[in-house]
Amino acid sequence: MKIYADNAATTKMSKTAVNAMIPYFDEVYGNPSSLHTSGQKAAEALYNARESISIILNCHPREITFTSGGSEADNQAIVSAAKIGERKGKKHIISTAFEHHAVLHTLQKLENQGFEVELLDVGEFGLVTAEQIKNAIREDTCLVTVMYANNEIGSVQPIAEIGAVCHEKGVLFHTDAVQAAGHLAIDVQAQNIDMLSLSAHKFHGPKGIGVLYARKGIVLSNIIEGGAQERGKRAGTENIPAIMGMAAALEEANEHINENTAKLIKLRDRLIEGFSEISHSILNGDREKRLPSNVHFCFEGIEGESLLLLLDAKGICASSGSACTSGSLDPSHVLLSIGRVHEIAHGSLRLSLDENTTENEVEYIIQSVREVVEYLRKMSPLWHDKISGRKNFILK
Amino acid sequence: MKKALIAMSGGVDSSVAAYLMKQSEYDCIGVTMKLFHNEDIGIEYKKTCCSLNDVEDAKSVAFRLGMSHYTFNFTNHFAEKVIQPFISAYESGRTPNPCIDCNRYLKFDALYHRAEILECEKIATGHYARIVNGNGRFILKKAVDLSKDQSYVLYAMTQEQLAHTVFPCGELEKSEIRKIAEKQGFFNADKPDSQDICFVPDGNYSAFIEQYSGKKYPVGNFIDRNGTVLGQHKGIIHYTIGQRKGLGISARNPLYVCGIDILDNAVILGESRELLSCDLNAVDFNWIAFDTPPEKFRAKAKIRYHHEEQWAEINVIGEKNVHIRFDEPQRAITKGQAVVLYDGEIVLGGGIIN
């Protein structure tokens, strides 16, 4: 059996998205900036894609900037807000301890440039509250950036409430919605979101393309300089095939969002139930406020790397959190931020499903994880120390 | 098909070891151990989360050979079992050999355990040494290429580890290894051999210790054997037995570090002849050639990596303690270094000089 359960890392492209791209490789291949008919056709496609995405997010097409993906969108949003703040003498930024590195590393860079970055605690369930944001906002706060849903433990933040607090205080609000777009209903107006990042390959679209939504009136600072594409805010000839694939994928995902959610929650909850029967284990992230596709557990006495290898041998593609480029796994800053100690953080497993996951697959995953955890514990000297009482258990 | 786990560092030796294993009857899995973060050892923080090019090098060789490749994060193990003891040793006036601890606790323990989990029958590394199965005991021997022999840093291996380990490079000359690498088109064929301690790439171990531990080591006195103060030292971690450079003391005859007195925070200096001695005690001994060693025997003993082994009288005192008396006085017998006993090319066993 081959089961792909790592959809938070990336997804399989949908047939709809693939088909939407194909004409733009060798039929409509003009440059949208060109004057001639071929270019015009490409420009029209680009406009349609922009419009379709704007309808889904409930914003104006001009508020959509196409980027190379979520990371670039995060970088540009944060740097832009910081520049705007700096001009007004506001250099305080509020975020959370468990953001994606695209956000955290950009904030670190700003810190080196003299900005003050305050990372809020996310508590043991990985949630930040609007109250916390409200209390943290100061006169000189220029930006609040809080992820929509966490990429590792799947906890979903109270975005609308945070947005309301920010607006009340007149502070820009950005959200990294890479894990949420296409999976949760987003409405930037209703939720008071000023800036939002998303990435196509997390909702069955192509890799290397994303969106930065920025409310009208927010002046974006360029990360890439060059031509006047994207209203001069993001140079480089537009990746039309990828943009078309993204628009098609987002439309498709959005159309089925309710049925997919209902289906996924059932599968997710069955997995959580199955894993909870394994002794000395714990669910990470909030039980209710979590992505429908996300299951994240820590198992005491095992190493995540071994767990993943053995699951891979059983045909299950999973992850232990976020993997870095070499494929080696560091104890995740997300797990540390919710208070897991290093030893426990090392034994983590993330499964992220999609709407094609079946009940049979879920049962097979539960069975396999039980077997592998038992096998690894049997082979672990640390586990024997715990069983015999020489060392204490950390988890119940 | 029997499975083997290949420890690949990204260097030429372990790359060729991987190639040779792949040629033999094994189904091979390539593995690179991530041992430390560059920023932890003072190399500039780069934007990638694992900026070790060596991992990329190892991966490219593995993929070229059609093997799967994994990176295992052993940074916690390495900090606990290698870096911390390395620092503690210097703090207590000893001179450690971290490669021995890395082999003992990382390659042949943590990694060995992973091989077990993955049901690999063998683990292969790029070490220059040989393992032979002789009359029910696994014997560790020097490499065919004596100039590259690494048996000294492998003395702590147990019978079980030896039974499940292969050193493909031990049977070949270094020149042959390079030829294989060139023929296979490994881009790292002429990558220079690693020389320094991997986590102290610039060789400045005292700067590393201060940066890593965040401590400042107090200055103190240089004294001679009679306790006469000769000058001021920069902190004891800066010195190792036999050291002559960097003392900043002028004397009629050149002075050397002959001892470190941690209680008085003093470094004892003396002339070259004061470094000579015949006797040493070793602890934590591991015997490879014997189940139970004879009480008393003659063998050649090697007291540091680049020392040519010398004849000595060996007295086994307890299960793990050994007294060694050299026929001729040896220069700079250093606490914390390993002493390894040889019978010709066979490693009898080894321990730590106390």
Residue range A23-35, pLDDT digits in tens: 999 999 999 999 9
CA separation for the pair B265, B218 (Å, rounded): 8
Same structural domain for residues B26 and B70?
yes
User: Quick check: is A246 in a domain?
Assistant: no
Determine whether A113 is exposed, middle or buried from the number of CB atoms within 10 Å of its CB (0-12, 13-18, 19+).
exposed
User: Quick check: is B250 in a domain?
Assistant: yes
Closest residue in B to A343 (Cα) is: B76
User: Quick check: is B196 in a domain?
Assistant: no
Average pLDDT of every residue of chain A: 95
Q: Which residues of B touch A (CB under 8 A)?
A: 32, 34, 47-50, 52, 55-56, 59, 70-73, 75-76, 113-114, 116-118
User: Quick check: is A48 in a domain?
Assistant: no
Same structural domain for residues B84 and B226?
no
Same structural domain for residues B284 and B266?
no
Is the CB of A326 less than 8 angstroms away from the CB of B71?
A: yes
Same structural domain for residues B257 and B279?
no
Between A327 and A200, the more confident residue is: A200
Q: Please report, for the domain that includes residue B239, its CATH number.
A: 2.30.30.280
Of B49, B50, B169, B198, the catalytic one is B198
Q: What is the DSSP letter of B109?
A: I
CA A111 vs CA A118, A333, B63: distances in Å: 10, 19, 40
Closest CA of chain B from A153, distance in Å: 20
Amino acid letter, B16: V
Same structural domain for residues B300 and B249?
no
User: Quick check: is A237 in a domain?
Assistant: no
Q: What's the total number of domains in chain A? A: 1
pLDDT score of A18: 98
Between A201 and A321, the more confident residue is: A201
In 3-state terms, what secondary structure has residue B344? Answer: coil
Task: Say if residues A1 and A358 touch (Cβ distance below 8 Å).
Answer: no
Closest CA of chain A from B73, distance in Å: 5
User: Quick check: is B325 in a domain?
Assistant: yes
Is the CB of A324 less than 8 angstroms away from the CB of B56?
A: no
Percent of chain A with pLDDT over 90: 92
Is the CB of A379 less than 8 angstroms away from the CB of B47?
A: no
Same structural domain for residues B248 and B286?
no
User: Quick check: is A354 in a domain?
Assistant: yes
User: Quick check: is A305 in a domain?
Assistant: yes
CA B162 vs CA A230, B44, B201, B273, B289: distances in Å: 63, 38, 30, 40, 12
Closest residue in A to B118 (Cα) is: A310
User: Quick check: is B208 in a domain?
Assistant: no
Same structural domain for residues B22 and B152?
yes
Closest CA of chain A from B71, distance in Å: 5
Q: Please report, for the domain that includes residue A342, its CATH number.
A: 3.90.1150.10
Q: What's the total number of domains in chain B? A: 3
Same structural domain for residues B261 and B289?
no
Is the CB of B76 less than 8 angstroms away from the CB of A342?
A: yes
pLDDT score of B227: 92
User: Quick check: is B197 in a domain?
Assistant: no
User: Quick check: is B206 in a domain?
Assistant: no
Same structural domain for residues B167 and B107?
yes
Task: Say if residues B262 and B235 touch (Cβ distance below 8 Å).
Answer: no
Q: Please report, for the domain that includes residue B316, its CATH number.
A: 2.40.30.10
pLDDT score of A378: 95
* Mean pLDDT, 10 residues at a time, chain B of 354 residues: 93 95 94 82 47 78 93 89 96 94 94 94 97 92 96 97 97 95 82 75 88 93 93 94 89 91 94 94 96 95 95 94 97 96 97 96
Same structural domain for residues B57 and B111?
yes
Percent of chain A with pLDDT over 70: 97
CA separation for the pair B166, A30 (Å, rounded): 59
Task: Say if residues A208 and A69 touch (Cβ distance below 8 Å).
Answer: yes
Q: What is the pTM of this model?
A: 0.86
**The pair of three-digit structure tokens given for residue A384, joined into one six-digit string:** 């024997």
pLDDT tens, residue by residue, B330-353:
999 999 999 999 999 999 999 999
The whole domain housing B296 covers 275-353
Same structural domain for residues B57 and B141?
yes
User: Quick check: is A53 in a domain?
Assistant: no
pLDDT score of B193: 67
CA A170 vs CA A59, A186, A307, B60: distances in Å: 20, 21, 47, 52
Q: Which residues of A touch B (CB under 8 A)?
A: 101, 105, 305-306, 309-310, 324-331, 342, 346, 375-376, 379
pLDDT score of B48: 37
**The pair of three-digit structure tokens given for residue A175, joined into one six-digit string:** 């959200």
Is the CB of B73 less than 8 angstroms away from the CB of A305?
A: yes
Is the CB of B72 less than 8 angstroms away from the CB of A325?
A: no
pLDDT tens, residue by residue, A314-333:
999 999 865 554 455 667 88
Same structural domain for residues B70 and B135?
yes
Q: What is the mean pLDDT of residues A76-84?
A: 98
Cβ neighbours of A108 in B, within 8 Å? none
Closest CA of chain B from A310, distance in Å: 7
CA separation for the pair B130, B169 (Å, rounded): 8
pLDDT score of A342: 86
Residue A278 has pLDDT above 90, yes or no: yes
Closest residue in B to A307 (Cα) is: B117
User: Quick check: is B170 in a domain?
Assistant: yes
In 3-state terms, what secondary structure has residue B7? Answer: strand
The whole domain housing A366 covers 3-9+257-388
- Find the angle CA(B330)-CA(B335)-CA(B338) to the nearest 5 degrees: 80
**The pair of three-digit structure tokens given for residue B4, joined into one six-digit string:** 């083997």
Closest CA of chain A from B300, distance in Å: 37
Residue of A320, A325, A326, A342 to mutate, interface with B, max B Cβ within 10 Å: A326
Amino acid letter, A248: A
ipTM of the prediction: 0.79
Task: Say if residues B100 and B153 touch (Cβ distance below 8 Å).
Answer: yes
Residue A78 has pLDDT above 80, yes or no: yes
User: Residue B237 CB: number of other CB atoms within 10 A?
Assistant: 22
Cβ neighbours of A305 in B, within 8 Å? 70, 72-73, 114
User: Quick check: is A377 in a domain?
Assistant: yes
Cβ neighbours of B113 in A, within 8 Å? 379
**Catalytic site includes residue B50:** no
Least CB–CB distance from B50: residue in A305, A325, A346: A325
Report which of A179, A208, A185, A231 is spatially closest to residue A50, judged by C-alpha positions: A231
pLDDT tens, residue by residue, B203-259:
888 999 999 999 999 999 999 999 999 999 999 999 999 999 889 888 888 999 999
Cβ neighbours of B59 in A, within 8 Å? 326
Cβ neighbours of A324 in B, within 8 Å? 48-50
Least CB–CB distance from A306: residue in B75, B76, B114: B114
User: Quick check: is B205 in a domain?
Assistant: no
How many residue contacts between A and B have a Cβ separation below 8 Å? 49
Taking the CA atoms of B257, B261, B262 and B264 in sequence, report the sign of the dihedral they define: negative
